[in-house]
Amino acid sequence: MKSNYLSHAELLQLKRWNTPTIYNGWEQITQHDIAADCFNLEETTDFMPQMGPMVGYAVTVVIQPSEKSHKQNTNALSEYRRYVAEQPGPKIVVVQDLDKPQVIGSFWGEVNSNVHRALGCVGTITDSAIRDLDEMTNAGFKALARRLCVGHAHVTPVRWNCEVEVFGTIIKPGQLIHADKHGFLAIPAEDQTSLLEAAIFMDTNECETVIQAARQAVGKSNAEILESLEAAAQAFSENTRQKFRRAGEW
Protein backbone atom coordinates (compact mmCIF):
# COMPACT_ATOMS: atom_id res chain seq x y z
CA MET A 1 0.00 0.00 0.00
CA LYS A 2 2.66 2.53 0.97
CA SER A 3 4.28 2.39 -2.47
CA ASN A 4 1.00 3.69 -3.92
CA TYR A 5 0.77 6.71 -1.64
CA LEU A 6 0.51 9.93 -3.62
CA SER A 7 2.61 13.04 -3.15
CA HIS A 8 1.21 15.97 -1.21
CA ALA A 9 1.04 17.95 -4.46
CA GLU A 10 -1.06 15.23 -6.10
CA LEU A 11 -3.42 15.15 -3.12
CA LEU A 12 -3.82 18.93 -3.32
CA GLN A 13 -4.71 18.62 -6.99
CA LEU A 14 -7.26 15.90 -6.28
CA LYS A 15 -8.84 18.18 -3.70
CA ARG A 16 -9.53 20.79 -6.43
CA TRP A 17 -12.14 18.52 -8.01
CA ASN A 18 -15.48 17.38 -6.67
CA THR A 19 -16.04 13.71 -5.93
CA PRO A 20 -18.21 13.01 -9.02
CA THR A 21 -15.34 14.27 -11.21
CA ILE A 22 -12.95 11.92 -9.44
CA TYR A 23 -15.44 9.09 -9.96
CA ASN A 24 -15.54 9.86 -13.71
CA GLY A 25 -11.80 9.32 -13.88
CA TRP A 26 -11.82 6.30 -11.59
CA GLU A 27 -14.40 4.41 -13.65
CA GLN A 28 -12.02 4.49 -16.63
CA ILE A 29 -9.09 2.89 -14.84
CA THR A 30 -10.64 0.44 -12.39
CA GLN A 31 -11.47 -3.23 -12.69
CA HIS A 32 -14.08 -2.91 -9.94
CA ASP A 33 -17.83 -2.72 -10.49
CA ILE A 34 -18.56 0.98 -11.07
CA ALA A 35 -22.22 0.39 -10.17
CA ALA A 36 -21.60 -1.26 -6.80
CA ASP A 37 -18.08 -0.87 -5.42
CA CYS A 38 -16.07 1.72 -3.52
CA PHE A 39 -18.69 4.44 -2.99
CA ASN A 40 -21.43 4.96 -0.41
CA LEU A 41 -24.50 2.89 -1.22
CA GLU A 42 -26.57 4.60 1.49
CA GLU A 43 -27.41 8.25 1.96
CA THR A 44 -24.90 10.31 3.89
CA THR A 45 -24.83 14.00 4.83
CA ASP A 46 -21.92 16.40 4.51
CA PHE A 47 -22.35 18.71 7.49
CA MET A 48 -19.62 21.11 6.29
CA PRO A 49 -20.22 21.46 2.52
CA GLN A 50 -18.69 24.95 2.59
CA MET A 51 -15.31 23.32 3.31
CA GLY A 52 -15.29 21.66 -0.10
CA PRO A 53 -13.88 18.18 -0.78
CA MET A 54 -11.59 16.34 1.59
CA VAL A 55 -8.89 13.90 0.53
CA GLY A 56 -6.92 11.57 2.77
CA TYR A 57 -6.01 8.05 3.76
CA ALA A 58 -8.36 6.01 5.89
CA VAL A 59 -7.69 5.30 9.53
CA THR A 60 -10.43 3.08 10.85
CA VAL A 61 -12.18 2.55 14.17
CA VAL A 62 -15.25 0.69 15.42
CA ILE A 63 -17.49 2.05 18.21
CA GLN A 64 -20.56 0.91 20.14
CA PRO A 65 -21.72 3.79 22.36
CA SER A 66 -24.64 1.82 23.81
CA GLU A 67 -22.36 -0.78 25.43
CA LYS A 68 -20.81 0.35 28.72
CA SER A 69 -18.58 -2.71 29.09
CA HIS A 70 -16.20 -1.52 26.35
CA LYS A 71 -14.91 1.10 28.76
CA GLN A 72 -13.36 -1.64 30.87
CA ASN A 73 -10.45 -1.46 28.42
CA THR A 74 -8.94 1.66 29.94
CA ASN A 75 -6.03 1.62 27.48
CA ALA A 76 -8.21 1.64 24.37
CA LEU A 77 -8.21 5.37 23.75
CA SER A 78 -4.47 5.86 24.16
CA GLU A 79 -3.68 2.80 22.02
CA TYR A 80 -6.08 3.97 19.34
CA ARG A 81 -4.55 7.47 19.30
CA ARG A 82 -1.08 5.96 18.99
CA TYR A 83 -2.28 4.02 15.95
CA VAL A 84 -3.70 7.18 14.37
CA ALA A 85 -0.54 9.16 15.05
CA GLU A 86 1.66 6.55 13.39
CA GLN A 87 -0.19 6.56 10.04
CA PRO A 88 0.85 8.81 7.14
CA GLY A 89 -1.39 11.76 6.41
CA PRO A 90 -3.51 13.50 5.56
CA LYS A 91 -5.93 11.13 7.27
CA ILE A 92 -9.68 10.62 7.25
CA VAL A 93 -11.13 8.76 10.23
CA VAL A 94 -13.69 6.18 9.14
CA VAL A 95 -15.97 5.15 11.99
CA GLN A 96 -18.27 2.11 12.01
CA ASP A 97 -20.98 2.22 14.67
CA LEU A 98 -22.15 -1.21 15.84
CA ASP A 99 -25.35 0.36 17.17
CA LYS A 100 -26.58 0.95 13.62
CA PRO A 101 -29.41 1.49 12.73
CA GLN A 102 -29.75 3.23 16.07
CA VAL A 103 -27.60 6.20 17.00
CA ILE A 104 -26.97 6.30 20.74
CA GLY A 105 -23.97 8.61 21.00
CA SER A 106 -21.26 10.40 19.04
CA PHE A 107 -17.53 9.72 18.82
CA TRP A 108 -17.14 13.29 17.56
CA GLY A 109 -17.40 16.69 19.15
CA GLU A 110 -15.27 19.75 19.80
CA VAL A 111 -12.57 17.97 21.80
CA ASN A 112 -12.11 14.87 19.65
CA SER A 113 -12.09 16.83 16.39
CA ASN A 114 -9.33 19.13 17.70
CA VAL A 115 -7.36 16.14 19.00
CA HIS A 116 -7.55 14.41 15.64
CA ARG A 117 -6.59 17.58 13.77
CA ALA A 118 -3.45 17.64 15.93
CA LEU A 119 -2.77 14.05 14.79
CA GLY A 120 -2.96 14.96 11.09
CA CYS A 121 -6.61 14.09 10.39
CA VAL A 122 -8.69 16.34 8.12
CA GLY A 123 -12.12 14.85 8.76
CA THR A 124 -14.30 11.83 9.30
CA ILE A 125 -16.79 9.58 7.61
CA THR A 126 -18.95 8.12 10.36
CA ASP A 127 -21.92 5.80 9.99
CA SER A 128 -23.17 7.40 13.20
CA ALA A 129 -23.63 10.94 14.48
CA ILE A 130 -21.64 14.06 15.26
CA ARG A 131 -22.21 16.84 17.77
CA ASP A 132 -20.72 20.31 18.40
CA LEU A 133 -21.17 21.08 14.72
CA ASP A 134 -20.05 24.72 14.88
CA GLU A 135 -17.04 23.84 17.03
CA MET A 136 -16.01 21.01 14.69
CA THR A 137 -16.28 23.39 11.76
CA ASN A 138 -14.16 25.93 13.62
CA ALA A 139 -11.53 23.22 14.13
CA GLY A 140 -11.43 22.68 10.35
CA PHE A 141 -12.56 19.09 10.76
CA LYS A 142 -14.98 17.99 8.04
CA ALA A 143 -17.65 15.36 8.70
CA LEU A 144 -19.87 13.12 6.60
CA ALA A 145 -22.31 11.46 8.98
CA ARG A 146 -25.81 10.05 9.40
CA ARG A 147 -27.17 12.77 11.67
CA LEU A 148 -26.55 15.07 14.61
CA CYS A 149 -26.99 14.05 18.25
CA VAL A 150 -26.55 15.59 21.71
CA GLY A 151 -24.49 13.05 23.69
CA HIS A 152 -21.54 10.69 23.60
CA ALA A 153 -23.06 7.85 25.70
CA HIS A 154 -20.41 5.18 26.46
CA VAL A 155 -18.33 5.80 23.36
CA THR A 156 -14.76 4.52 23.24
CA PRO A 157 -12.71 2.75 20.55
CA VAL A 158 -13.68 -0.93 20.41
CA ARG A 159 -11.21 -1.98 17.72
CA TRP A 160 -9.19 -0.13 15.09
CA ASN A 161 -6.88 -0.60 12.11
CA CYS A 162 -9.41 -3.05 10.65
CA GLU A 163 -11.84 -3.22 7.76
CA VAL A 164 -15.00 -1.27 8.49
CA GLU A 165 -18.36 -1.01 6.80
CA VAL A 166 -19.93 2.44 6.53
CA PHE A 167 -22.95 3.43 4.46
CA GLY A 168 -22.97 -0.01 2.82
CA THR A 169 -19.32 0.12 1.73
CA ILE A 170 -16.26 -1.73 3.01
CA ILE A 171 -13.22 0.49 3.63
CA LYS A 172 -9.74 -0.80 4.41
CA PRO A 173 -7.14 1.02 6.46
CA GLY A 174 -4.89 3.10 4.22
CA GLN A 175 -7.36 3.46 1.36
CA LEU A 176 -7.34 6.82 -0.36
CA ILE A 177 -10.69 8.56 0.12
CA HIS A 178 -12.21 11.48 -1.74
CA ALA A 179 -15.38 12.90 -0.19
CA ASP A 180 -17.68 15.89 -0.45
CA LYS A 181 -21.38 16.79 -0.29
CA HIS A 182 -22.17 14.15 -2.93
CA GLY A 183 -20.75 11.26 -0.87
CA PHE A 184 -17.42 9.46 -0.86
CA LEU A 185 -15.22 7.30 -3.06
CA ALA A 186 -12.73 4.88 -1.47
CA ILE A 187 -10.11 4.22 -4.12
CA PRO A 188 -8.51 0.75 -4.25
CA ALA A 189 -4.72 0.75 -3.91
CA GLU A 190 -4.12 -0.34 -7.50
CA ASP A 191 -6.12 2.63 -8.84
CA GLN A 192 -4.48 5.40 -6.84
CA THR A 193 -1.50 6.34 -8.98
CA SER A 194 -3.52 6.76 -12.20
CA LEU A 195 -6.48 8.52 -10.63
CA LEU A 196 -5.50 12.19 -10.96
CA GLU A 197 -4.51 11.95 -14.61
CA ALA A 198 -7.69 10.06 -15.47
CA ALA A 199 -9.94 12.56 -13.67
CA ILE A 200 -8.31 15.56 -15.36
CA PHE A 201 -8.53 13.90 -18.76
CA MET A 202 -12.21 13.07 -18.41
CA ASP A 203 -13.10 16.55 -17.17
CA THR A 204 -11.24 18.13 -20.10
CA ASN A 205 -12.88 15.68 -22.48
CA GLU A 206 -16.34 16.73 -21.25
CA CYS A 207 -15.56 20.44 -21.52
CA GLU A 208 -14.19 20.15 -25.05
CA THR A 209 -17.03 18.00 -26.42
CA VAL A 210 -20.48 17.51 -24.86
CA ILE A 211 -20.52 20.52 -22.52
CA GLN A 212 -19.17 22.84 -25.20
CA ALA A 213 -21.81 21.65 -27.67
CA ALA A 214 -24.59 22.16 -25.13
CA ARG A 215 -23.40 25.67 -24.24
CA GLN A 216 -23.21 26.71 -27.89
CA ALA A 217 -26.88 25.97 -28.60
CA VAL A 218 -28.04 29.59 -28.67
CA GLY A 219 -29.44 30.60 -32.05
CA LYS A 220 -29.47 27.06 -33.46
CA SER A 221 -32.49 25.10 -34.55
CA ASN A 222 -33.45 21.95 -32.69
CA ALA A 223 -32.13 19.87 -35.56
CA GLU A 224 -28.79 21.67 -35.45
CA ILE A 225 -28.58 21.29 -31.67
CA LEU A 226 -29.30 17.57 -31.84
CA GLU A 227 -26.76 17.10 -34.63
CA SER A 228 -24.13 19.00 -32.65
CA LEU A 229 -24.81 17.01 -29.48
CA GLU A 230 -24.59 13.71 -31.34
CA ALA A 231 -21.27 14.68 -32.91
CA ALA A 232 -19.94 15.83 -29.54
CA ALA A 233 -20.97 12.57 -27.87
CA GLN A 234 -19.19 10.61 -30.56
CA ALA A 235 -16.07 12.72 -30.10
CA PHE A 236 -16.24 12.24 -26.35
CA SER A 237 -16.48 8.46 -26.71
CA GLU A 238 -13.70 8.32 -29.29
CA ASN A 239 -11.36 10.36 -27.11
CA THR A 240 -12.12 8.06 -24.18
CA ARG A 241 -11.55 4.92 -26.25
CA GLN A 242 -8.21 6.20 -27.49
CA LYS A 243 -7.07 6.99 -23.94
CA PHE A 244 -8.53 4.13 -21.92
CA ARG A 245 -9.93 1.64 -24.47
CA ARG A 246 -13.36 2.25 -22.91
CA ALA A 247 -16.38 4.10 -24.25
CA GLY A 248 -17.07 6.44 -21.33
CA GLU A 249 -20.34 7.83 -20.07
CA TRP A 250 -21.46 9.40 -23.35
- Residues 85-136 have pLDDT tens digits of 999 999 999 999 999 999 999 999 999 999 999 999 999 999 999 999 999 9
What Å distances lie between residue 10 and 6, 24, 45, 130, 200, CA to CA?
A: 6, 17, 26, 30, 12
CATH number (3.40.50.720, 2.40.50.250, 3.50.50.100, 3.50.30.40) of 38-189 reads 3.50.30.40
What CA–CA distance (Å, rounded) separates 45 from 55? 17
Question: pTM of the entire structure?
Answer: 0.93
- Residues 60-95 have pLDDT tens digits of 999 999 999 999 999 999 999 999 999 999 999 999
What CA–CA distance (Å, rounded) separates 138 from 128? 21
Predicted pLDDT of residue 2: 47
Whether the bond between 65 and the residue before it is cis, its omega within 30 degrees of 0, is no
**Contact present, 170 and 145 (Cβ < 8 Å):** no
- Residues 13-22 have pLDDT tens digits of 999 999 999 9
